[in-house]
Structure 1
């Protein structure tokens, strides 16, 4: 068998799927604003023009990225014979898992026009879930918004936003914080809880609170 020349790198066939996967990786590494066709081509070791044989332009590529990311949301089909809260938990868990894998790409998919169609498809399946549970149209929309607000907010918090310091204000390790602890007695009392990080437990507890509240809303018998 003939040997390959030393130092030669075998190149993968260029496909639309490979371009999309590479784009997602670059978005996660450098951010969506830094993405360019030239950078994708350099990452793949191909000419820029060769990309256009698979994607017509950058907008189409971003739409494909959004579609690929949102396709990972394994939203369960509505089942009127199953407790709707189980379906809602599965939907929230799917979103959380995808957002953890691709946080920047998920943000792009949810906030840009590129992901609009894929986003509507996901919303359709979620609304069908609430409809099967007996919620009316307006309540289904509000339930969807509440659930999405919760899981997005939980992901933002898990990413570090609003994270409490690991030490109390006024402790020697943080002399730059000048505060009278008498002004924050509850913070002092619950300091151990405030600085203890348990994203999974926090997510499950908050989700249960939300779903329990939604479950008490009026709805038709499924």
Structure 2
């Protein structure tokens, strides 16, 4: 197969992301990306050393679309964190199958680092520092990535909620009751409602 004339990191990342979006993360390999680019797998090694480097390019492509500009400083700190979390969710949720890669490689992504720096600045201004700030940032990352995966892999509007709602009420009364309530909650309310609970916890910790 012919070698592409201009295989830039951006084009390489776009091809890898196309494989992930279409076929899932398990389908990502040097061979499948080479096929996407109509080139030989060996030819791909001229541009990236291995799959790990390929994954890093994918993460940077996903996170580069995040708006990392600091929010207006006159807004309450929880509102500013909520804005930053919403920006990250909006970018990452476009490629839900790639979410595990953002967890593994975000420390290598300049865009991801800028997001974290902006969030840490807000937390610091709110008096959250030291080990508490470490835990706060990790908790935010865990919540955002976990919420995105739940929204796309096990949405409240999906069959899982229906199955839980049908559980025998004598054995699982709270689960069945909660599943019935879950049918009325949309993705935005679920994400930001959970985030606000987390932020209120940080405020009082």
Q: Answer 1 or 2: which has greater helix percent.
A: 2
TM-score normalised per structure 2: 0.77
- TM-fit CA distance, 1:158: 1.0
Q: Take 2:152 and 2:198, find their aligned partners in 1: how far apart are those partners?
A: 21
RMSD of aligned residue pairs (Cα, Å): 2.9
- TM-fit CA distance, 1:64: 1.5
> 1:1-222 alignment to 2 at 5 Å?
13-77=6-70, 80-111=73-104, 114-118=105-109, 119-161=112-154, 163-165=160-162, 168-169=165-166, 179=168, 181-187=169-175, 192-217=180-205
Q: Take 1:156 and 1:121, find their aligned partners in 2: how far apart are those partners?
A: 23
- TM-fit CA distance, 1:49: 4.3
In structure 1, the gaps of 5 or more residues are: 1-10, 170-176, 218-222
State the secondary structure of the residue aligned to 1:54.
Answer: coil
- TM-fit CA distance, 1:166: 5.7
Q: What is the number of residues matched between the two proteins?
A: 196
TM-score normalised per structure 1: 0.72
State the secondary structure of the residue aligned to 1:101.
Answer: coil
Check whether the contact 2:16–2:58 (CA below 8 A) recurs between aligned residues.
yes
In structure 2, the gaps of 5 or more residues are: none
Stretch of structure 1 that moved more, 36-45 or 71-80: 71-80
Q: Take 1:185 and 1:35, find their aligned partners in 2: how far apart are those partners?
A: 42
- TM-fit CA distance, 1:54: 3.3
Stretch of structure 1 that moved more, 129-138 or 70-79: 70-79
Q: Which has the larger radius of gyration?
A: 1
- TM-fit CA distance, 1:50: 4.0
Relative distance call for 1:187 and 1:38 in structure 2 (3 A) is: closer
- TM-fit CA distance, 1:52: 3.8
Relative distance call for 1:100 and 1:12 in structure 2 (3 A) is: farther
Check whether the contact 2:165–2:180 (CA below 8 A) recurs between aligned residues.
no
- TM-fit CA distance, 1:67: 2.0
Q: Take 2:183 and 2:127, find their aligned partners in 1: how far apart are those partners?
A: 40
